[in-house]
Amino acid sequence: IVAFFQPKALAGRRVLVTAGPTFEAMDPIRGITNHSSGKMGFAIARAAREAGAQVTLVAGPVSLPTPRGVTRLDVQSARQMLQACEAGARQADVFIATAAVADWRPEVQADHKIKKDGSGQPPAVRFVENPDILATLAQGERARSGALYCVGFAAESENLVAHARAKRGRKGIPLLVGNIGPLAFGRDDNELLLVDEHGEQALPPGPKLVLARQLIAQIARRLRPAA
Ligand code: CTP
Ligand code: CA
């Protein structure tokens, strides 16, 4: 019998994960969101914890149980998610952005419920772009010095490799994970493609938790040695 004291792959590391959709309010009772379930991000938070990391999970509105041992911060909007992440990133060694952040929010959030005015004309809603949480953290000082390793996700409906490569460059991150899951009809499992500076590597298709564990192992291999 050999090799029992092998340390866990992320022992002593702090991992920050975003998951789920964001909700962008228009008035106190309405807003726009999307159909992200948050399952992949929650599976990744769980896998990181299993690998020995101290994990903070910043979650948009989802109905999922918090993985055991994970610190969870619930937020609604992209701007709230950014604020929580900027605080968390000051400590973190790894940032994994799985959230389906709403790209736009209504320019104005009314203080009271918007009422029909009797004219038959719907209100005009103007949108403004939300901050890019991943790009913001990736451009921050800790990421640029190599202290914070940033991982992005991209769900694409076509040209996964080309889009994933371009997105990795645009966001300025070392690792981009392409996701062919939710948009590929008839598939129960996800399929992940890792894009880094060396090229592409596909993970074998499987359930989200299995993929999450494999992804965490791949991220751990890419980290610089712990200080
Ligand atoms: N992301 C983010 N903040 C945003 C938008 C995206 O942190 N405001 C992160 C997502 O969590 C994901 C990555 O950026 O890890 C890619 O998200 P995606 O929506 O695929 O990319 P966008 O840059 O928004 O481009 P588009 O939606 O136009 O393809
Ligand atoms: Ca987007």
180 pLDDT higher than 80: no
Q: What's the rounded mean pLDDT across residues 95-105?
A: 98
Nearest-ligand number for the alpha carbon of 101:
1
Residues 190, 181 contacting (CB under 8 angstroms): yes
Task: Enter the DSSP assignment of 120.
Answer: S
Class of domain 14-106+126-222: alpha beta
Whole-angstrom Cα distance, residue 178 to residue 48? 19
Whether 48 lines ligand 1, by a CB cut-off of 6 Å, is no
Q: Percent of the chain having pLDDT more than 90? A: 85
DSSP 69-112: T-EEEE--SHHHHHHHHHHHHTT-SEEEE--B--SEEES---SS
Domain ranges of the chain: 14-106+126-222
> pLDDT-based confidence at 184, cuts 50/70/90?
very low
pTM metric for this prediction: 0.95
Residue 34: active-site member? yes
Residues 51, 9 contacting (CB under 8 angstroms): yes
Q: Give the pLDDT score at 222.
A: 96
Whole-angstrom Cα distance, residue 8 to residue 107? 46
Amino acid at 85: C
Residues 16, 89 contacting (CB under 8 angstroms): yes
> pLDDT-based confidence at 147, cuts 50/70/90?
very high
> pLDDT-based confidence at 187, cuts 50/70/90?
low
Query: To test ligand 1's pocket by mutation, which of 85, 104, 132 has the most ligand atoms within 8 angstroms of CB?
Result: 132
Task: Enter the DSSP assignment of 140.
Answer: S
Pairing of strands 24-27, 30-32: antiparallel
Q: Please state the φ and ψ torsions of residue 104, each to the nearest 5 degrees.
A: -130, 155
Q: What 3-state class would DSSP assign to 6? A: coil
Alpha helices in the chain (DSSP H): 39-50, 78-89, 133-138, 141-144, 160-171, 208-222
Burial 39-75 (b: 16+ CB within 10 A, else e): bbbbbbbbbbbbbbbbbbbbbbebebeebeebebbeb
Whether 178 lines ligand 1, by a CB cut-off of 6 Å, is no
Q: State the distance between the two ends of the chain, measured CA to CA, in whole angstroms.
A: 31
